[in-house]
Chain A
Amino acid sequence: MSGTLAEKVWDAHVVRRAEGEPDLLYIDLHLIHEVTSPQAFDGLRLAGRTVRRPDLTLATEDHNVPTTPGPITDLVSKTQVDTLRRNCEEFGVRLFPMGHAEQGIVHVVGPQRGLSQPGMTIVCGDSHTSTHGAFGALAFGIGTSEVEHVLATQTLPLKPFKTMAINVEGELQPGVTAKDITLAVIAKIGTGGGQGYVLEYRGSAIRALSMEARMTVCNMSIEAGARAGMIAPDQTTFDYLKGRENAPQGADWDEAVAAWQHLCSDDDAVFDAEVDLNATTLTPFVTWGTNPGQGLPLGESVPDPETMGDDNEKAAAQHALDYMGLTAGTPLREIRVDTVFVGSCTNGRIEDLRAAADIVKGHKVADGVRMLVVPGSARVRLQAEEEGLDKVFTAAGAEWRLAGCSMCLGMNPDQLAPGERSASTSNRNFEGRQGKGGRTHLVSPLVAAATALRGTLSSPADLVDLVDAGAFEGSK
């Protein structure tokens, strides 16, 4: 029987299938953080249950942690972190706490240790668990009662999903990245376009992406409403995994790779839906509104709600423009920002930091702009420091921080003030996401860095003009 990648992984994890009931699926890896786990552990305690497989469970502290040295000052945040520590201790779950060399955003930590592998089922009480699908795993976010269910049984009863192929063919132009692919996909299918689907990203443009870039793409599947996003494993995947501490070793490695090589959608597999995107004509994408689907190529202007199809869309766009303080017709390139945030589980990995550092190197962040660079994990931070990237950023006038979710969601002190505008490499531009009244433009690390230098939404290509005109110091 032929099938899609997602169906194959699903079928390999069915513990029990019965007519009229959801399939019971085995979970290979359960990642945990401080925000969505407390009540799940409390539920176990109330029912006198234990964690079935602590060896398939891993906890990190990320959402609440401050990214400047020192203890947590916010009481609620501190309580959540303290509670996680107590729970992990009591139930025997391994934890990477603040200050630990392996601490970081849960979706950065799993992959960097080689824990996220092809063909696995991976869950976490966090919607961006879709990140791990980059390895050809079926990975999705779950709610707190499901967290408790997985802790107690290492399984989940799940309703079936549909499959959607996202075919991205062609070669990306210089300055165009995985983030632009994903923003373009979401703008194309809408924030609800993936509802009920597992997306499989395919095509030559996807094959050409590095593992980290693939994670960026899968990370944002949830913003299209999808349950998960996946990419079939290939040599790039195997090369990334080989040698990492939690990857298979020795004979296990050979056996694993042999199995992983079969993890792809069959040629005659039928998807419930297909979407095509041309990578060659893609240009850097930015969002102008208050959901990730409200995005356009940087070269365009703020859209006019009056020109939109239906009344709902019109009203939503008008509302978004009011919130964002934007006027229809303004070229996107002229939008001035106060803050630039480089980080998050979408773009807080070493390649992202390298790309941003490459742009800012030898230049200064524009007057009146604050640039925050927050590595996705302690390990990424260390690596960046070994490469001297921290110096590049601080010399340019940016702030170099400790690992965490930071300004992605503003649960820690890194927040936008009301009315402040950011160019952010994170994944959500919802109202208030980065701080009450804050205005977010989602961008790639390259656009973020270029924007920091010019002060308005920009791509690296825009810098060339500035350099030629000698408009900013430090230029050659």
Chain B
Amino acid sequence: MDAFTTHTGIGVPLRRSNVDTDQIIPAVYLKRVTRTGFEDGLFAAWRKDETFILNNPSYAAGSVLVAGSDFGTGSSREHAVWALMNYGFRVVLSSRFADIFRGNSGKQGLLTAQLAQDDIELIWKYLENEPGSAVTVDLVSRTVTAGDIVAPFEVDDYTRWRLLEGLDDISLTLRHEQDVTEFESRRPAYKPSTTVA
């Protein structure tokens, strides 16, 4: 996965709390067999409403989602993260995230930055008054900048380190590939192989 240090992109104010993963991507999209192309399923039900924020051309190319509290609740589907990232989002800002969603995000390289709800309100107002404005998210200093607003955010140290280094779970393990190879050399010869017989 790509390393993340700082990101600047159009902010999308999503004034909704308790956005669950079924709203992020409805179950009918789960039958697919790929990892990509889920952007059309993102917020599929809401996008049918022409007043929905992503249907506004000023926000359509957004990459920083500014959401209400308790984002990502419900089923543990990893597709929710794929849909957001396939669409082009790199960061979600919220005052609270569901645990599993946050875990899945960290593994895929989507930054979930936790801000105070007051700061979320300020950023919403700013983005609504100035549609299409950019938001900068700096993972090194853990701050979000939107116009004159500069707000700190929280992300746990481990996830931050992984994002800064661009390490997904597999790359993390592969840093210890030597250990794996050594272990393999010690495996008993009687262990079965699937390719025999």
Give the B-binding residues of A (Cβ under 8 A).
15-16, 24, 26, 28-29, 38-39, 42-43, 46-47, 49, 52, 54-58, 76, 79-80, 83, 94, 113-115, 117, 120, 143-145, 148-149, 152-155, 157, 245-248, 252-253, 255-256, 259
Specify which of A29, A54, A56, A145 is in contact with B107 (CB 8 Å cutoff): A145
A76, B191: Cβ atoms under 8 Å?
no
Contacting residue for A42 out of B34, B172, B179, B196, CB 8 A: B34
CB distance from A43 to the nearest CB of B (A): 5
Is B33 a contact partner of A157 (Cβ separation < 8 A)?
no
- B169 to A115, Cβ gap below 8 A? no
Q: How far is the CB of A171 from chain B (nearest CB, A)?
A: 34
- Which residues of A lie under 8 Å from residue B34 when comparing CB positions? 38-39, 42
A149-B33 contact in complex given A54-B195, A245-B196, A246-B197, C-beta closer than 8 Å: no
Among B35, B173, B191, B193, the residue within 8 A (CB) of A153 is B173
A39 with B33, Cβ < 8 A, contacts A29-B194, A54-B195 known = yes
Q: In the assembled complex, which residues on chain B have CB atoms less than 8 Å from the CB atom of A248?
A: 190, 192
Within 8 A of A (CB), among B57-109: 76, 78, 104, 107
Cα A15 to Cα B193 in complex, Å, equals 20
List chain A residues, Cβ under 8 A from B107. 145
| Contacting pair B180 A38 (CB below 8 A) | no
> CB distance B31 to A76 under 8 Å?
yes
State whether A42 touches B35 (Cβ < 8 A): yes
Find out whether the CB atom of B173 lies under 8 angstroms from the CB atom of A149. yes
Do A47 and B189 have beta carbons less than 8 Å apart?
no
Instruction: Tell me, rounded to whole Å, the shortest Cβ–Cβ distance linking B100 to chain A.
Output: 11
Tally of contact residues, B, Cβ under 8 A: 33
- The answer on a CB contact under 8 Å between A157 and B193 is no
* Contact A252-B189, Cβ < 8 Å, known A42-B36, A56-B194: yes
Given contacts A38-B34, A39-B35, A76-B31, contact A114 B78 (CB under 8 A): no
Collect the chain A residues with CB atoms within 8 Å of residue B184's CB. Answer: 26, 154
Please state if A253 and B190 are interface contacts (CB–CB under 8 Å): yes
- Identify B192's interface contact among A76, A94, A115, A155, CB under 8 A: A115
- Contacts A46-B35, A117-B192 aside, 11 further interface pairs with beta carbons under 8 A come to A15-B180, A24-B180, A42-B35, A76-B31, A94-B194, A115-B192, A144-B78, A152-B170, A153-B170, A155-B173, A246-B197
Query: Nearest CB to that of B176 among chain A residues?
Result: A16
Neighbouring B residues of A114 by C-beta, 8 Å? 192
Bound CA–CA A74/B148 (angstroms): 55
List 11 contacting pairs A-B, 8 Å CB cutoff, sorted by A: A24-B176, A26-B187, A28-B187, A42-B33, A42-B34, A143-B76, A145-B107, A149-B173, A155-B173, A157-B173, A246-B194
Chain A CB within 10 Å, residue with most, of B76, B187, B190, B195: B190
State the CA gap A144–B31 with chains docked (Å).
13
Chain B residue numbers with a CB within 8 Å of A43 are 35
